[in-house]
């Protein structure tokens, strides 16, 4: 009787290579997500809007969005414009639909005079409906 070792057949050897296919799949999905969302994040104008308890979402069917950032730069539909371009775009909006509402978003740091200039440009263009956009109260 022998007490030696019995020979076994070798089992499956551990895999020594990393399977990168799932990693590449995940990375490609993340790249696509970033490509789609990056333009959405970059196009918005950063404003520190005033807040009030009475702020309610508007329901204007025909509206044009005008924003003034802290430096006084004007934006129409989140695209930077100069004062003459603003007047021209407001006049075009009034020509298309005289009941168009101007939704004015102004940063808290903007001087009141700059806001009045935009309101005057809207009235000269023939737009009398002006809505002031604010953050809902906290």
- Domain map (residue ranges) of the chain: 51-136
The C-alpha atoms of residue 74 and residue 53 are separated, in whole angstroms, by: 27
Average pLDDT over residues 9-22: 79
Residue 31: pLDDT over 90: yes
Q: What is the pLDDT of residue 27?
A: 94
pTM: 0.57
The C-alpha atoms of residue 38 and residue 48 are separated, in whole angstroms, by: 21
Q: What is the pLDDT of residue 95?
A: 92
Average pLDDT over residues 87-115: 90
Average pLDDT over residues 105-127: 90
- Within 10 angstroms of residue 15's Cβ, the number of other Cβ atoms is 7
What's the CATH architecture for 51-136?
A: 2-Layer Sandwich (3.30)
Q: What is the pLDDT of residue 120?
A: 92
Tell which residue, 137, 52, 60, 69, has the closest CA to residue 102.
Answer: 60
Tell which residue, 83, 60, 70, has the closest CA to residue 130.
Answer: 60
Cα 21 to Cα 10, 18, 95: the distances in Å are: 29, 9, 57
């Amino acid at each position: 009787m022998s007490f030696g070792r019995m020979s076994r057949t070798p089992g499956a050897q551990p895999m020594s290579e990393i399977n990168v296919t799932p990693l590449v799949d995940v990375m490609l999905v993340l790249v696509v997500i970033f490509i789609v969302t990056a333009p959405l994040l970059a196009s918005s104008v950063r404003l520190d809007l005033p807040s009030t308890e009475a702020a309610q979402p508007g329901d204007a069917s025909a509206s044009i969005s005008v924003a003034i950032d802290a430096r006084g730069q004007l934006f129409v539909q989140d695209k930077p414009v100069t004062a003459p371009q603003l007047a021209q775009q407001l006049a075009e909006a009034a020509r298309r639909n005289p009941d168009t509402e101007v939704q004015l978003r102004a940063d808290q740091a903007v001087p009141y005079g700059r806001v009045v200039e935009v309101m005057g440009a809207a009235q000269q263009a023939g737009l009398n409906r002006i809505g002031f956009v604010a953050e809902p109260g906290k």
